[in-house]
Structure 1
């Protein structure tokens, strides 16, 4: 995993818990990663200071234009940064993609997630050993899903050894975990599909994972998966992928 691509989300506390633990472990062992994290932190602190000074400078100009005499104790400090330094900082930010941390326009993350999160679990008709023909596991899962009895689905699937779960069941588990706000476990299930399902569920798992990142506010992680879907996968979500990329 390329941890350097996760630095921005790590600094902004937007990494899911599982990925944050992995990143923290890698950070403790990788000196170059540590240096890059500190560099990004200093850069963000510097830009925050510049922004504060610019706002104060504009406020001072507005007060002067209005003919108001500000009390010395409350007068904004003189803008210390030289404009060439500000310009250099902006160019540096653009070069490392910091501006990409935020979406192009504000939007309702939850509403956008709900708009695009329209999963369609596939319930195969294979019978599971030790389950009667009239009450197969597949039939039970399908009935519970239609009745929105998600807790029953989770309890039943978590009792199955991972080796005995088929891909459809793992996908269903991920979907239900998302619906019940168990995001960390959902990320794990989706990762399993991405790396172990061949081509059957890879694109779909990446699509759902990108939506989950968007819901959590991890915009750079969402954008990375969406770009991967656009460039490397044949997906029936092509139109939706482009729409989200335009938003982000």
Structure 2
């Protein structure tokens, strides 16, 4: 693992979003040091907040063009946008077989499934997503369907669904903190109301550091004892963990 490098890509052009990613990575590295060197990147232009598929497509083209000559410098890439972001597939087509890439959406679903019980003996046997604008309710549900190879979102019996705050990714950092907190808590409470959710995925890179708000909502809705049984999963943490694992399991060639 010596000398391995992971690039965390913020595909929107908001430096404040990257700053929050840097803070999260720094806090993680103090508790559980990464073997690979982790760097962050911000799109040089394009949408300041990715609010739909058109924004995602535009940002993917900008980032790929900007990074194309630097791809060989990294061993793994994390696309820090919680969507079925086209940049993940576009990078795969450009990378060598020993380089790895994932998005925080794909990484969080993979990790969430590993945290669920086998079968349905436990009442808490589902995962769900708390995200930003209402557009993502259908978009992320369709993304889960595609990722898991399902006919429709709930056909596996493990996916609860998506609840949204109505805020954009950038508004998570610019709206009054009390408004962000209130809307995050309301969305969380809707998701877990029936007490069948085991894992909550934070459905936006801009939610880095807001897991505490979700945990407070769980305590209010479920009580302290039940709240301890629900995992709050940050996609950036999940993605970095997955990539570190891949670099260890499939180290490939040295650069």
TM-score over 0.5 for the alignment? no
Considering fraction of residues, name the structure with more helix: 1
TM superposition score normalised by structure 1: 0.26
Greater Rg over alpha carbons, structure? 1
Bigger RCO (CA 8 Å, 6+ sep): 2
